[in-house]
Amino acid sequence: MPYTQLQSLSAEEFKRLCGVSRPTFGDMVEVLRPQLERQRKRVCNTTNICTVLLLQTVIS
């Protein structure tokens, strides 16, 4: 499911699909973002949404 669709889910549906609450998901994105930004500088120039999609893929 694309991240844009996840944003419209209720808190219960989000937790059921992702396995974590929305605030925890946001905290996880913030922890991953610095490392991913360092990697992107070496590989490619991508947008912020890629961090969220990567985390969503890892959780799933």
- Residue 47, pLDDT score: 56
Q: How far apart are CA 24 and CA 32, in angstroms?
A: 12
pLDDT in tens, 13-45: 989 988 999 999 889 888 888 887 777 666 555
Instruction: Give residue limits of the domains in the chain.
Output: 3-59
Q: Which of 60 and 11 is assigned the larger pLDDT?
A: 11
Residue type, 59: I
Read off the pLDDT of each residue in 3-14 and give the average, rounded to a whole number: 86
- Residue 18, pLDDT score: 85
- Residue 54, pLDDT score: 73
- Residue 57, pLDDT score: 75
How buried is residue 8: exposed, middle or buried, by Cβ count under 10 Å (0-12/13-18/19+)? exposed
User: Could you write out the three-class secondary structure of the chain?
Assistant: CCHHHHCCCCHHHHHHHHCCCHHHHHHHHHHHHHHHHHHHHHHCCCCCHHHHHHHHHHHC
